Amino acid sequence: MDYEPYRGELVAYCYRMTGSFHDAEDLVQETLLRAWKARERYDPTRASVRTWLYRIATNVCLTALEGRARRPLPSGLGGPSDDPGAPLTPASDIPWLEPFPDNRFDIGVRTDMRLALVAAVQVLPPRQRAVLVLREVLDFSAAEVAAQLGTTVAAVNSALQRARAALADAGDLGEVTEPDDPELHAVVQRYMRAFEAADVPALVRLLTDAVVLEMPPVPLWYRGSHDYGRFIRRVFDLRGTGWAMRALTANGQPALAAYAPPGPGHGPDGTLALHTLQVLRLAGGRIAHNVVFADPAVFEAFGLPRQISRDESRRAR
């Protein structure tokens, strides 16, 4: 049997379960290895290959999640900061939520991968996570999920009800949007131009009043366009002007790779260094949330070049 056609959707499933793209890849590798070893015991009269693989993947994920801390975003750990000059000290002991690199998978795999939703799902107990994703995202029947989890249909329905209630209490998870929507694209392009020009007032005009800015692995975060602008002003004061932005997508959302101007340890003149990956959520034609990732492992997962020349940045526009 050829299991490779299922690899992409299994990676997306394991990512939703764990909140880590790197863990998801490892868990899918384990899933496919177990499936290959058990191939002689597969009974096509009891389940399709896809359903059988998801049962194996679910067991692999549940085992991996035993005793493991959830992967949060900074906004899930405490209140916002009002100090734009607060020390940007990474919390390396926290297993932070990671973004999902859309460019490595087809559109069907990326269905409803919103960062806010993935973060909210991490709060659920692992078996509730599995029930929610298998039923609500992947459209397996209650009977199929019961078989995958080795439980009853009644238990699946009860777990799904509790999971839905928990998500309802999680607050605004944002709406599903299409990254290539023309209006959304225009807002992102204006944000890119304002950032490259270090035009803080123009940036602020593109934000909702209650915009959220967070920066894992730094545990602090900000709420509101005023504090967002004050913090970005600090960034430009520290790193200078002349940034370059590249547009991409992550978790089915618009995203930007930000390249910083030369500075200590950031290459010679004419070279811009990869600084952050920014994942945006828009609402009402404005930016409502920006999760800024600075982990080199995230850059690697997205295949982003660590440096670009100023000439390259101009040609990419």
Task: Mention every residue, 6+ apart, whose C-beta is less than 8 A from residue 226.
Answer: 204
Q: What is the pLDDT of residue 174?
A: 62
pLDDT band at 182 (very low <50, low <70, confident <90, very high): confident
CB burial of residue 272 (10 Å; 0-12, 13-18, 19+): buried
Q: How far is CA 150 from CA 58, 156, 165, in A?
A: 11, 10, 23
Task: Mention every residue, 6+ apart, whose C-beta is less than 8 A from residue 79.
Answer: none
pLDDT of 314 over the 70 cut: no
Q: What is the pLDDT of residue 317?
A: 52
Instruction: Give the HSE-up count for residue 39: Cα atoms under 13 Å, Cβ half-sphere.
Output: 7
- Report d(CA 62, CA 130) in Å as an integer: 8
The secondary structure of 135-164, three-state, reads HHHCCCCHHHHHHHHCCCHHHHHHHHHHHH
pLDDT of 315 over the 70 cut: no
- Report d(CA 231, CA 222) in Å as an integer: 8
pLDDT of 134 over the 90 cut: yes
Burial 4-34 (b: 16+ CB within 10 A, else e): eebbbbbbbbbbbbbbbbebbbebbebbbee
Tens digit of each residue's pLDDT (9 = 90 or more) over 238-254: 888 899 999 999 999 99
Tell me the pairing of strands 286-293 and 207-215.
parallel
Q: How far is CA 33 from CA 26, 28, 106, 113, 208, in A?
A: 11, 8, 23, 26, 47
The residue extents of the domains of the chain are: 4-168, 182-316
Stretch 35-52: mean pLDDT, rounded?
93
Stretch 214-225: mean pLDDT, rounded?
96
- Report d(CA 1, CA 48) in Å as an integer: 12
pLDDT band at 169 (very low <50, low <70, confident <90, very high): confident
pLDDT band at 270 (very low <50, low <70, confident <90, very high): confident
CATH architecture for segment(s) 182-316? Roll (3.10)
CATH class of 4-168: mainly alpha
CB atoms under 10 Å from CB of 120, counted, come to 21
pLDDT of 266 over the 50 cut: no
